[in-house]
Amino acid sequence: MTETVPQGLCRDFDRLPAVTLLRRLAEKPFDLTAPSALTVERLTTYRCHAAGFDLLYATQRIDERVLDALQALADEGRAIGQFLLMQQGAVLNRIEGFAGENRQVLHTACRDLFAEAPLAPETTAQAQAELVKLRAFLAELESGALTNAAGKPFADLVQIGIGGSDLGPRALSLALAAFAKPGRRVHCLSNVDPDDAAAVLKGLDLSRTLVNVVSKSGTTLETLTNEELARRAFAAAGLAPERHFLAVTGQGSPMDNSARYLRSFYMFDSIGGRYSATSMVGAVMLGFALGYEQVIELLRGAHAMDLAAAEPEIRRNPALLSALIGIWNRNFLGCESVAVLPYSQALVRFTAHLQQLDMESNGKSITRAGRDLAWQSGPVVWGEPGTNGQHAFFQFLHQGTAIVPVEFIGFRESQYGAELLLQGTTSQEKLVANLLAQMLALATGQPHANPNQRFAGNRPSSLLIADRLTPYAMGALLAFYEAKVVFQGFLWNINSFDQEGVQLGKKLANGFLAHFAAQRENFLYNGSEADPRGWALLEAAGLRAKRR
């Protein structure tokens, strides 16, 4: 199935009848500071469950009238209908009447392996075929059938990629380090800054190291530059790179080359970079670090949340409900940013992944018909793990002039179980107590005669909480945010799946590289044959190409 989305599903946000009602309700939003606001009933009722996670949203500035209006918004914008069409393979990555990528959006097909009847069977079959290849490769490593030239097992894997080929896999590998196989480590190299490559490769026993190079096109400049740096390091150590380097790339790309790579795994056009962590982009590195069965658990968790995201009733669909609450805060309460604050050190890079997922997807200013937006689209996404953030930017959250909604992420149990009982409570209990206290403090505030100690309150937040951060839970958490982002894009009537804003900078960078190359070849070159603005910037920055 490859038809485009019927235009009847692509309705302008400001023409949806529910928008008028929501604007009226936003004139006097629910007051979280009122004495009877946060009742026991509200705190226990405003709870939504799926795939092992509970979404607690009593500390948002919403009530039953707003929830009903948000339900109407989802229905009128046909959010679920578009989500199902996406899963079935409709061409959503497009702008009507204009040139674009014109692709399907099938990241959910990577984990639809467990369904009796996959919604996009061809893409799911492709994902299954790559998993079979990965399982065989990991089995060879495990059995000792595949070793280095000296017969020793590989201990390290370096993933070279950038953007979606780095942020998601890096966040997942850090999140699940507690489940790593003994003697296995993974590292990520993304920045074209040569110091990044030097720092990652320094101290590694290259003879026992694999390098996984990830690029769909096989032509990504930053990735190819870092790959060449790594290849030279292996060659300098007397090692044959083709016995150490793996590729995750598009079938038939320049990197699909068995003479240069020990193994090649495929990624497909229908799976965009920032949505690719559950494809081979993330699975190869995670398989090496955690083992095949844990990769399957990650996919199971993501699939469970994908199923929950197809529920039309927003009070039973955490991803859709969170998307709608985000729209309420952004478009009706005027909040320009959202802080994602995981109270889990393992999720130290997860917010960075969400920045790309959300801001590259929904940082758009035209509709799917190519018209300028008359409403706000995606917010600024930022954050750090708690409780460190409490001693950094929480002052701004509590008493700053900007209202920043917060999405807390927490777990009832720690990953390692290395608990310290001190003053009657464990470390994990102290962590969770801080999280819950911040939710209440942001919501209720504190009246005080001293203005320096006065907290206005009415700072909205929600909490996504599960028992423990396992591979299954991580998959569900990842899929939750993927669904949340695409739901918001559908309702805003924007294309959440291209990233044209990235391209102009890349194009201009090539002009600067031409300047450097020309200088290196001819030191009398004065930039007269190229854009004078670029030459002027090089002059102002004091940059000159160095002789080799």
Is 391 catalytic? The answer is: yes
44/27 Cα distance (integer angstroms):
26
Q: Which residues lie below 8 Å from residue 187, measured CB to CB, with a gap of 6+? A: 156, 157, 158, 159, 200, 204
Right CATH number for 12-31+39-79+309-494 from 2.30.30.100, 3.40.50.10490, 3.40.50.1820, 1.10.10.10?
3.40.50.10490
Annotated catalytic residue within 391, 507, 521, 546: 391
Structure confidence by residue, pLDDT tens digits, 138-171: 999 999 999 999 999 999 999 999 999 999 999 9
State the pLDDT at residue 382: 98
Order the strands of the 245-250 sheet from edge to edge: 185-189, 156-160, 209-215, 245-250, 263-267
CA-CA distance, 114 to 117, in Å (whole number)?
9
Question: Which of the four pLDDT bands, split at 50, 70 and 90, describes residue 511?
Answer: confident
Tens digit of each residue's pLDDT (9 = 90 or more) over 327-363? 999 999 999 999 999 999 999 999 999 999 999 999 9
Distance in angstroms (rounded) separating the CA atoms of residues 50 and 309: 9
Place 533 in a pLDDT band, splitting at 50, 70 and 90.
confident
Cα separation, 117 vs 454, in Å, equals 57
Q: What is the CATH number of domain 120-299?
A: 3.40.50.10490
- Determine whether 360 is an active site residue: yes
* pLDDT tens track for 61-104: 999 999 999 999 999 999 999 999 999 999 999 999 999 999 99
Neighbours of 468 (CB within 10 A): 16
- What does the H/E/C string look like for 317-365? CHHHHHHHHHHHHHHHCCCCEEEEEECCHHHCCHHHHHHHHHHHHHCCC
| pLDDT tier for residue 1 given thresholds of 50, 70 and 90 | very low
Give the mean model confidence (pLDDT) for residues 473-498.
98
Which listed residue (49, 152, 448, 506) is catalytic?
506
Amino acid at 483: A
| pLDDT tens digits, one per residue of 358-412 | 999 999 999 999 999 999 999 999 999 999 999 999 999 999 999 999 999 999 9
Mean confidence (pLDDT) of the chain: 94
Query: pLDDT-derived band of residue 7, with 50, 70 and 90 as boundaries?
Result: low
The letter for the amino acid at 295 is V
pLDDT at 545 over 80: no
Question: HSE on the CB side for 27, CA within 13 Å?
Answer: 6
Query: pLDDT band at 523, cuts 50/70/90?
Result: low
Residues ≥6 apart with Cβ < 8 Å to 302:
108, 110, 111, 278, 475, 476, 478, 479
Helix-helix angle 318-327:292-308, to 10 degrees: 60
Which is catalytic among the residues 130, 227, 297, 360?
Answer: 360
Does residue 273 or residue 501 have the better pLDDT?
273
> pLDDT confidence of 516, banded at 50, 70, 90?
confident
Q: Assess whether 506 carries a catalytic annotation.
A: yes
DSSP-derived 3-state class of residue 220: coil
Inform me whether the pLDDT recorded for 52 exceeds 90.
Answer: yes
pLDDT at site 10: 77
CATH 3.40.50.10490 residue window(s) in the chain: 12-31+39-79+309-494, 120-299
How far apart, in whole angstroms, are the C-alpha atoms of residue 322 and residue 479?
Answer: 13
Give mean pLDDT, residues 490-509: 90
Quick one: pLDDT at residue 539?
A: 79
CB-CB contact of 295 with 286 (8 Å): yes
Q: What whole-number distance in Å separates Cα of residue 347 and Cα of residue 221?
A: 29
